[in-house]
């Protein structure tokens, strides 16, 4: 019940305080998440912790360029949905928060002779590991935003990741800004989402 209460209070923050905390907390949380199940135990994930201000600034710059281009193309109803959630092309949180965890999924891997090897269900596997990581970070009292840039190839270049890794999600981690007005949303009832057979 305690965990339900903590997870119930989890919300997506889009403004963060600049105050930081020990990086070891994130390393421990990622260690917990890496015990997630994965297709054929391939563990097709890499978690990049970004704390360098210059790198965060560059990620923000590239993300805002991508969002500006995307916003010119998206249908109006989609724009309305995002506006109601306070989602705009401005991404200040990418610089404000002390840490970004940029999660990459492996689309193939390498054997000891550097040949390409297969991975299985990488999206499901990395999604489960990300969910476990989010639960641990929430349990630790940290605030988060799961952010998916509309075009994310720049993350590979900025963080110099190898060609078998593709960006999956940016997890913004820190203390949500006390002045941030959380959008009013509702969650579905147990009856809607749980079916007992």
User: Which residues form the interface with ligand FMN (CB under 6 A)?
Assistant: 11-12, 14, 85, 87, 145-148, 185
Q: Give min distance, CB of 66 to ligand FMN, in A.
A: 11
Q: Give min distance, CB of 185 to ligand FMN, in A.
A: 5
Q: Which is nearer to ligand FMN, 28 or 148 (CB)?
A: 148
Q: Which position has the token pair 């147990």?
A: 190
Q: Which is nearer to ligand FMN, 72 or 160 (CB)?
A: 72
Q: Give min distance, CB of 138 to ligand FMN, in A.
A: 11
Q: Give min distance, CB of 121 to ligand FMN, in A.
A: 17
Contact between residue 174 and residue 19 where contact means Cβ atoms under 8 Å apart: yes
Of all residues in this chain, which one has the CB nearest to ligand FMN in the complex?
Answer: 12
Q: Which is nearer to ligand FMN, 12 or 62 (CB)?
A: 12
């Amino acid at each position: 019940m305690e965990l339900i209460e903590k997870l119930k209070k989890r919300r997506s923050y889009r403004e963060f305080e600049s105050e930081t905390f020990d990086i070891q907390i994130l390393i421990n949380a990622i260690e917990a998440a890496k015990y997630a199940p994965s297709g054929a135990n391939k563990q097709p994930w890499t978690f990049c912790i970004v704390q360098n201000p210059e790198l965060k600034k560059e990620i923000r710059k590239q993300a805002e360029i991508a969002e500006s281009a995307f916003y010119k193309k998206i249908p109006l109803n989609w724009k309305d949905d995002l506006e109601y959630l306070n989602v705009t092309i401005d991404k200040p949180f990418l610089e404000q928060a002390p840490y970004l965890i940029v999660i990459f999924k492996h689309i193939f891997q390498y054997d000891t002779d550097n040949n390409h090897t297969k991975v299985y269900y990488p999206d499901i596997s990395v999604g489960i590991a990300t969910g476990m990581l989010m639960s641990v970070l929430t349990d630790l009292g940290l605030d988060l935003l799961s952010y998916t840039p509309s075009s994310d190839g720049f993350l590979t270049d900025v963080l110099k990741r190898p060609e078998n890794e593709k960006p999956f999600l940016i997890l913004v981690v820190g203390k949500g800004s006390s002045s941030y007005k959380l959008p009013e949303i509702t969650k579905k009832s147990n009856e809607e989402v749980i079916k007992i057979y």
